[in-house]
Homo-oligomer: A and B are copies of this chain.
Amino acid sequence: MPGAALVTAPSIPTAPVTPAILDRLRAIVGDKGLILDEQDKRPFVTDWRGELAGQAAAVVRPANTAEVSAVIKLCYDSGIAVVPQGGNTGLMGGATPWPAHRGIVLSLGRMNRVLNVDPVGYAMTVEAGCILQTLQETAARHDRFFPLSLGAQGSCMIGGNLSTNAGGVQVLRYGNARNLVLGLEVVLASGEVWDGLRALKKDNTGYDLKHLFMGAEGTLGIITKAVLKLWPAPKDVCTAWLAIRDPRAAIELLSEAHAASDDNVGSCELMSRACTDMVLRHIPGTQDPLKAETEWYLLLEWSSARPRQDGAGMSDRMEQFLADQLEAGRVLDAVIAQTEAQSRNMWRIRESVAEASRAEGPGLSYDVSVAISGIPEFIDRGLKAVLDILPTIRPYPLGHIGDGNLHFSFMGPKGMDRDTLTQYSAAITRVVNDLITSMAGSISAEHGIGIEKLDELQHYRSRTELDIMRTIKRALDPKNIMNPGKVLRLE
């Protein structure tokens, strides 16, 4: 990923956290809600990738919405900047304070209660600090399914997922995070609490405010609670790992999979050989599902809420489908997971890519999206363009191709250090983003803008659109205390 050294820090509020204000913070959250020691603050002021390091006067960890509200009101009155933070697993630096930040990081991590589960009403009310995996397990215990699934689910928190409109591996059928929400509770920049915790499917009573806060990456307000939608629990799941002819075959496969699975395609993830090898190299306990040496693979999962029907269940259908696709030359080899462990291994490979890349060394990664039919063309033209600039860079593309979302990723050339690689990143970023934009695609499919894509957003979005966003930002956060300098440049 491009280093944030390439992004000039915008001007942000610099009112300090004086001793008097620190006392008032302590009066609100108690000592247990404050982290002041430099070492203890470190995990909160650096990003997960280890590429950005900022600072903060204090990390504040409220226990409930009332404390969040009081803290924000104090910050608002004093003009102190606030960086809201969930699990700090983001990849764009959106939850990391700038080096010049003099305010606080507000961590939601202690607000981790599931407040209500309504299986009959298919809804669940939770605090923003709940870890995603915990929510998945809670839903499962009630014979329900909460579809949001991504690699970081063991540490990311739902508030952050909603603030970034997270994507993940189940978007194909269920949509992005904003599609999984019925209501929100949000603390505004003034400290006021907006209670939008409604659980209704149909409610046309004024502007739909929740969609404003979701995807705003903490720059308009802090999500403190959410009412999440639940679905019936999957009862019949079949996971397969396919060696395929090429990316175009993947798209043809997916198109036919809808009918073959009786509209039960859950996930369709493209993996390159290089990507799989990188994971096998660094992540202990993972095994190559297939002994294949070919270039492209597909992780395909079908999932039905109906119990397995003899002879017509997901695995029966998958077997028939794979046989047909082998005959058609789209599939070269395939294995269907026979056990829970085999399925988990396949998923672990897919979900550990970010972790493996961190261990591998310096690299660049572009989270882009385009119409599904454009994926093969983008891969071809993109690889050509990037290798033209740096022939020894090592591609390892992968992605949620069913949504048109590719993680167009590269390991740096063998032996090249981070600083040297960074010298190439501006040029590479430009050709990749120019290409995706020329194909009517997006420069950030799911990871958001944060710090990393501040200038890219400025470059590619129309003046009119940026102005509307600035207008809304200034209206809802007139003192610019909410995660300042992220997503949008105000000047």
Contacts and interface: CB of A to CB of B under 8 A. Distances in A.
Contacts of A304: 263
Q: Copy number of this protein in the oligomer?
A: 2
A475 B465 contact: no
A305 interface: yes
Interface in A128-183: 164-165, 167, 171, 176, 178-179
Given A194-B468, A204-B449, 9 more contacts: A121-B372, A188-B468, A200-B404, A200-B440, A205-B449, A206-B449, A207-B215, A211-B211, A262-B306
A369 B201 contact: yes
Interface string A201-221: 111111111011011100010
Nearest to A167: B202
A400 B167 CA distance: 30
A399 B207 CA distance: 24
Contacts of A196: 465
A404 B202 CA distance: 8
Contacts of A400: 202
Given A165-B208, A194-B468, A216-B207, A405 B446 contact: no
Interface of A: 120-121, 164-165, 167, 171, 176, 178-179, 188, 192-196, 198-209, 211-212, 214-216, 220, 232, 258-259, 262-263, 304-306, 369-373, 400, 403-405, 440-449, 453, 457, 460-462, 464-469, 471-472, 474-476, 487-488
A334 B298 CA distance: 47
Nearest to A402: B201
Nearest to A172: B201
A contact face: mostly helix, strand, loop, or mixed? loop
A121 B373 contact: yes
A201 B167 CA distance: 10
A304 B264 CA distance: 12
A462 B380 CA distance: 54
B206 A487 contact: yes
Contacts of A443: 205
Nearest to A192: B464
A207 B202 contact: no
A84 to B, nearest CB: 16
Contacts of A445: 200, 202-204
Contact of A202 (B199, B216, B403, B457): B403
A104 B167 CA distance: 43
Contacts of A216: 207
Contacts of A464: 188, 192-195
Contacts of A448: 204
Given A211-B208, A373-B121, A474-B475, A176 B202 contact: yes
Given A192-B464, A212-B212, A475-B471, A403 B201 contact: yes
Contacts of A474: 475
A381 B195 CA distance: 27
Nearest to A165: B204
A207 B203 contact: no
Contacts of A178: 208
A400 B211 CA distance: 24
B200 A442 contact: yes
Nearest to A220: B207
A315 to B, nearest CB: 17
A369 B179 contact: no
Contacts of A212: 207-208, 211-212, 472
B205 A446 contact: no
A282 to B, nearest CB: 27
Nearest to A259: B306
Given A202-B403, A306-B262, A464-B194, A472 B469 contact: no
